[in-house]
Each structure stands twice: as structure tokens, then as C-alpha cells.
Structure 1
Amino acid sequence: MTAETLIQANRSTYAPKTLPAVFSITAGNGQGVASRGPGALPDAPSSQDAGRHQQLTLKAPPAVDPGPYTIGIGDVVVLSTPATQNTVQELSGLLAAQNSRNGYTVQDDGSVNIPDVGRVRIAGMTVDAAEDLLFQRLVENQFDPTFSLEIAEFKSRRVSIGGAVGNPRIVPITLTPLYLDEALAAAGSVSVSDIDLGSVRIYREGRLYEIPLTDLYARADLQRTRLIAGDSVFVDTDYQLDRAESYFEQQIRLTQTRLSGRSQALDELTAQVQLRRADFVEGRDNFESRLSHGAVDQDYVYLTGEVVSQSRYPLPFEQRASLADALFDSANGVAKETGDVSEVYVLRASSDARELGAVTAWHLDYRSAANLTLATRFELRPNDIIFIAENPVTKWGRTIQQITPSLITTPIVAAAN
């Protein structure tokens, strides 16, 4: 066996048996449960002209710093990849002939489902951290990881604006901080006839804060009050606190409804994943049971001669086995006391049916470590026969065992005559 003959031996075509598809997929792949929601935002309570004047008290919310924006459920992220110079795309579902931008919605379990990659949980991560994780997953799946991550739609962190504004609405919080003056401007600005009678009330985490409009317009620091996710802002013009409280109650009920819908969707998704996982486990168990009973078509090579056990060595699924794999298998390898490592043969019958009886043999002497490297590169084929000759000492010992009985019995026969 030389490098040249090894190349010739490995040229024969061979495709290893593949495992059933159930061994290649996970319960997390596939379509997730769509996000649920309660529908459109309820109309804010109407604001009527004030009929009385009450003393307003400034009670501004404390300064907050929630830190950098983290991706949340409902956000839509975009993977942007550069243009390629050929039409062969390295990353299925992500690359196109020109610049590609594909959006993925963060599902209720906090993950996005990327074709050929699977579900990747990115909720609670900054854009940079999510980009690093996606980079790692693409590399693990042997895809070109050249891409950039952006947030196309901000839906997980929002502030509601209602009351005496031009256009009551929900304002999303993006990568840049959202301040009170910007939020009011996005809702069409304050719409009151007399700022002395108006105030901005902010409901945050169970507490109610109040900023009179006269103070708001007089102080730049109040205008730059930073808002955080979940804040409800209500512009009141008649000091009827019950009307503002009604608005905030609506926001609380709306939030609870959304959370309930998401919890239900997540439960459904978990149930689906468990059912899929159970199906996969059953399919794999069935395959392994069939394999143990010999009911699966599998390729083998056969070991004979001075081996630990005259047996057949199963070729692995989805990869190729080498001569070294079979020789050093603890259950089938060379018998240490009797096998001659200088006389290892691989016999392979011709694949041409017209050449019945035509056999090619390769001889390996792996007393030399250099020759042993050839065994690690020699690819086995179905129905190969590996033969190990007996070493000279064993051969002589067996000859003596056959001769010794005749030497003992010959004098006895002569004496009898």
C-alpha cells in the first residue's frame, strides 16, 4: 500500500448511508405561533373645557437611565448583507444577487427564525450582542457571516399619548432616548386654549406624576423629561383627575390583555414544540430499534484472520470510515498475541458484474508508523474484506501443537507391534 495505490483505491464512488431526516431537525425549527394582541388601542377619554380652576402642583418624575436599547418581543430586525459578485449564494434565505434586506419578527419566545439556521433567541440583547450571537450561529452552520443587524420596526417599547393632543397615539421608543417634548410633538402637540389650566400627567409603574403646562413651557429640563417603556402620558385641561385615571386604567387593561395573549401564544408554542419533540424522539427510537434488529439497510466490511473476533464492521452513517477505524476498533481489531501487523490485507471485489471473481488486494505493513498514516487515509467500501495473517511465532506454535501428538503416539504404536 503506497500513496499512489491509496489514491486509486479511494477513487471508487461511494455515498455513505444517511440517517433519517428526524435526526437532522429540532423541535424549535419551523413556524412559530404568531404574536397575539387585543386589537386597536381604545379611544382615549374625551377632554372637555374646564369649568373651574384648581391649584396645580409640580410633581415631575425622577430622572431615569434605562441603559442602551435591548431588542424585545415584536421588534422587526433586518439582516443586511453585501452584494456578491456571482450568482451562487452562500447563505440561503439571506443573500441575493444584490444587497439583501430580510426582516424577521421577534416571536413570543424571544427568538427569530432564520432559514437554514433555526431559532436564535435575541430578546433582551443589545444590537451589538445580538449581532455577535448571529455571527456565531452562522459560523456554526458554515455560512458566510458577513452581515449587519438593524432594527427596522420598534414595537416592543412604546409610550401612549392621549388627552388634549392633536393626534392621540402610541409612540415607539427607538435606539435614541424619547423625551417628553418629542413625544408630545409626535402626537400632534398640546391642544389647549389656556395653558394655565392644563397639565401633563405621566403614569409610570403605578405612580402618577404631574407637570403643569406653565412649568413645562418655562423649563427646558422638564421638556427633556426622559420617557421609558410603559409610560402613559395624558394631557389634561380641566383637572378632572377621574378622567385621567380612566385613561390610565384603559392602558393598564390593554397591557394586561396583551400580556395574557402573549402568555397564551407562548403556551401554545411550547405545546407544539413538545409535541414535535415527542414525534422526533419516537422516530429516532423506532430507527434505532430497527437498526438493532437488522431491519435497516447498512453497509459493512468483514474482518477475518487473526482478529479479536471474526465479525463485520458497520460503516458509519453520513461519513466515511478508514482502514484504521476498523483495525483499532476494540471489539474487532487485530489480535495482539497472534496477529501479524506486517501482513494486513484489504480485499475488494470488482464492482463490474461481468468480472465475477476479480479481486483487488492491498497489502499494509504498519510496523512502521509512517505506513500507519496510510491506514488513516484508506477509505473502506461496502463488502471489503480485511484479512490479518498470523505472525510467525503463532504459526510455528500451531505447527508444534499439530506435530507433538504424533511424536508421542508413534513409539506407543511401534511397541505394540
Structure 2
Amino acid sequence: MPVNAETVLVANRAQYNPKQLPAVFFQNAGGAGAARGAGAVPPASLDVQQRPSAMTLRIPPAVTPGPYQIGVGDVLLLATKRSGNTVEELSGLLAAQNARQGYTVQDDGAIAIPDVGRVVLEGLTLEEAEAQLFQSLVQSQIDPTFSLEIAEFNSKRVSLGGAVSNPTVAPIRLTPLYLDEALAVAGGISTEDLDFASIRIYRDGTLYQIPLEEYLRRGDLQKVRLVDGDSVFVDTEFELDKAQAYFEEQITLAQFRQQARVQALAELNAEVNLRRASLTEARSNFKDRVDFDAVDRDFVYLTGEVSKPGRFTMPFGRQASLADAIYSDSGFTAETANPSQIYVLRGSSNPADFGAVTAWHLDARNAANMTLATRFEMQPNDIVFIAEQPITRWNRAFRQIFPLLINSANVATNG
């Protein structure tokens, strides 16, 4: 069957799925998981810096924490009726109230009421706490007539230090705590250096800065709202020598978090390296098996006037063309091979036609026909045969006959 554009389509109808490389060649060592640990490192407040021409203003973001929530350490006062059995049942509670003593929210978030038991109030607003107490009193069959108030606010605090008259800890109460009020609780700012003095607020691992001149000039800066856990430090030296001692605990904690992150990254790198080594070993083992011909492969066989008769190994993962097979080992030479007699011999895949062979004939005397060879898809066990030139056939026959003629002539002459 001659090879042309139409017959190439017919030949390529045969279904062939190229053998694939093992999955290990398509895997990578990444994707082992994200690094664990803390977030960003806090600002380098311990470094020695030169005094700038102007102080940088870094205002903390506005916050709206919502209604006050009762926390561990808060002291609650509970007032109830003094008449009837209720007074007797709550005599201990009423005595404590008369002595201006309340109930401290303990570390489990609850207060202990006689004849009622432990009532968890941590995390509740005052209104929610009243509802919880009402339910507990009713369940204990106690007159639920009472009033509740917070006597001492100990769970939410803001610390103040540095150049203030009285370094202290200011509690956050039912009403918002603003920066000017907190500084007033600490006795006000005590410094004569207005040019380079600043108010620094340490919040959630971030250091904010308000130059003192800006603070005194702008009312909105005086009304910066503080939240639980804020640390306020009035600094009179730009090198932050005093701030270093004040923030030592917070910065040390941030360093621990950063160290945990570094350790997590090291573990991740070690895991990636182990996976990469395992993949490399598996790929190397497969390559060795290929070199020792221990892997099942598909072949096309080359014979006739080719540069090197043998077999052409079908590639992994893609189709191979007739041109790939012919030129896999330097192709053929036109001195002995006949380019007009290139054949692809293909056996039938139908068991009923066992032994039937189709011979595809490519005439490559026209170089344009070689483009068909790049489109002709090979199948396993195809045989590529290139016939010899007529002159090559005569030349070989002559080389075999000529010595016999010489020998015959010598025998006749000598005889």
C-alpha cells in the first residue's frame, strides 16, 4: 500500500497507547504542608538608632471591642431581698454585701454562691450575666429578686510606664478607656523634652508611636481608644533605653514565637529534602532498570540498507513516527539504500488474520514525501525495511562471482 496523505490516516487509525513513565517522574518534593509558628517579628525596638529630624507618627487602628465582658478576677456584688426565707438562704451573700465584699470570678470563669453553686459568668456582658443568675436562682428555688454590679474591674487592664509621674496599671471599665484618661491615671506625662518625646503603644506584637508634640496639638490623638493588653510607654530617649526594659517580656515572647517558626521551617525543609532524595532514588532505580533492559518496552525493528540494523525503542508518553525510527541511528545512506523502496511491515492485530501482513511503501525519491514519514505513526513490532540499490545488488553479486571466475581461469591456465 503506497504511503500518501490518505493512507497515512488509515495507518494511524490503529490504537496504540504509549507506555508511560512511572508516576515518580511526575511528582515533586513540595506540597508537604505550610510552615507552622507565629507571625511577623515585632519592630526592632532594641536597636540603637540615630535621632531623626522628625518623629514618625504611627497611630494604632481604631477598635470597637463592644460591651464590657466579665472576666477572671472581676469582683461582682450581688444584692438580694432581706426578708423571708430568701434572707436565710442567702445570709452569707448578704453579709458579704454588707461588708462591701463581693464574689471574685475565679480562674474557671465562675463565682460560687451559697445554696446555688458555681455559676459561670466569664465572657458575658452584665445583662447576660443577670439573665444567667436569674435562671440559676430559679432552678435553686430561690427568690430571683436581685441586682448585680461589678465592684472591681481586674480582668482587662492597660499598663503605663516610662516618663509618667506614677507608672501603674489602669483597669478598663464599662466605659471606654482613652489615651488621655489612662495617662491621667498615671499622674500625667513627666518630661521636659517635647521635641523627641513620644508615646509608644505596644499592641498585639506591633509598636505604634505618637510624638508628644502631635499628641498635645491634636484632640483626636488624645482620644485614641485603648484595649485590653495594651502597653503605653512615654519615652524621652529615641534609643528606647527605657522602653527596652519595659517591653522585654513582650519582645522575648515574640522571639520565642519566631524561633518556633524557624524550627517549623527547618522541619519542613528536612521533610522536603527527604522526599526529594526518595524521588531521586526511585528515578535512578528506574533508569538503571531501563539500562539493563529490565523494563517492558515497545520496539520497532530496522533492517535492510540502514546504517545500523537493530531495534528502535518506542519512547515513553508519546507517539513515534517513521522518521523517528529511520533516523534514530543516523538513518540510511543513498549509496547503497534505495530511497524509493522504504517499507513498513505491520502484522494484523486480528487473531483471525494471524500471519497477514500489510506493507506500507514510501517512495522517498521525492524529498517532499519525507514529510509523510514524520506523520506516519509507528506501532509496536513494526518492521522498517529499506531495499538496496540495483547497482548495489549487481556490485555485491559481482564481488561474489569475480573470485570464482579468477580461480576458474587459474585452474584452466595451470591445467
**TM-score computed with the length of structure 2 as normaliser:** 0.57
CA distance in 2, matches of 1:265, 1:5: 62
Mapped pair 1:325 → 2:315:
no
- More contact order relative to length (CA 8 Å, sep ≥ 6): 2
What is aligned with 1:194? 184
Aligned CA RMSD, in angstroms, stands at 4.0
Shift of 1:367: 2.3
Q: For 1:188 and 1:351, locate their aligned partners in 2 and report how far apart those are by CA, in whole Å.
A: 88
| Matching residue's letter, 2:23 | A
- Alignment partners' CA distance in 1, 2:215 and 2:356: 98
Instruction: Return the offset for 1:414.
Output: 3.1
Q: 2:392 aligns with which of 380, 390, 394?
A: 394
Aligned match of 1:49? none
Structure 2: which amino acid aligns with 1:297?
Answer: D
Deviations 1:12-62 (A, max 9, x none): 00000011111111111x332541239xx9xxxxxxxxxxxxxxxxx9633
Residue 10 of structure 1, aligned match among 12, 31, 41: 12
CA contact (8 A) 2:200 2:235 kept: no
**Equivalent AA in structure 2 for residue 61 of structure 1:** M
Q: Write the deviation string for residues 287-337 of structure 1: whole angstroms up to 9, x where unpaired.
A: 0111111110111000000111111000000011111111122x2621343
1:62 to 2:56 alignment: yes
**Cross-structure match for 1:253:** 252
Which amino acid counterpart does residue 381 of structure 2 have in structure 1? N
Distance 1:311 1:341 in 2: 19
Offset of residue 406 of structure 1:
2.5
Taking the aligned partners of 2:219 and 2:320, their CA distance within structure 1 comes to 75
Is 1:376 paired with 2:374? yes
Match of 2:268 in 1: 269
- Name the SS for the 1:312 alignment partner: strand
Give unpaired runs (5+ residues) of structure 2.
Answer: 43-52, 59-156, 161-175, 190-197
Residue 211 of structure 2 aligns with which residue? 211
Distance 1:246 1:326 in 2: 78
Instruction: Call closer, same or farther: CA 1:245–1:162 in 2, change over 3 Å.
Output: farther
SS for the counterpart of 2:331 is coil
In structure 2, C-alpha distance between the alignment counterparts of 1:339 and 1:254, rounded to whole Å:
82
Counterpart for residue 364 of structure 2: 366
Unaligned 5+ segments in structure 1 are: 42-58, 65-160, 165-186, 226-231
Distance of 2:243 and 2:231 partners within structure 1: 7
Q: What is aligned with 2:311?
A: 312
2:335 is matched with which residue? Answer: 337
Q: Is the CA contact (8 Å cut-off) linking 1:197 and 1:237 kept in structure 2?
A: no
Q: Give 1:12-411 correspondences, 5 Å limit.
A: 12-28=14-30, 30-37=31-38, 61-62=55-56, 163=159, 189-190=178-179, 191-192=181-182, 194=184, 197-198=188-189, 200-201=199-200, 211-212=211-212, 215-216=214-215, 218-219=217-218, 234-236=231-233, 245-329=244-328, 331=329, 333-411=331-409
SS in structure 2 of the partner of residue 354 of structure 1: helix
Contact 1:299–1:382 (8 Å) recurs in 2: yes
Q: 1:208 to 1:242 in 2, by over 3 A?
A: farther
C-alpha contact (below 8 Å) 1:216/1:222 kept by paired residues: yes
TM-score, normalisation: structure 1: 0.56
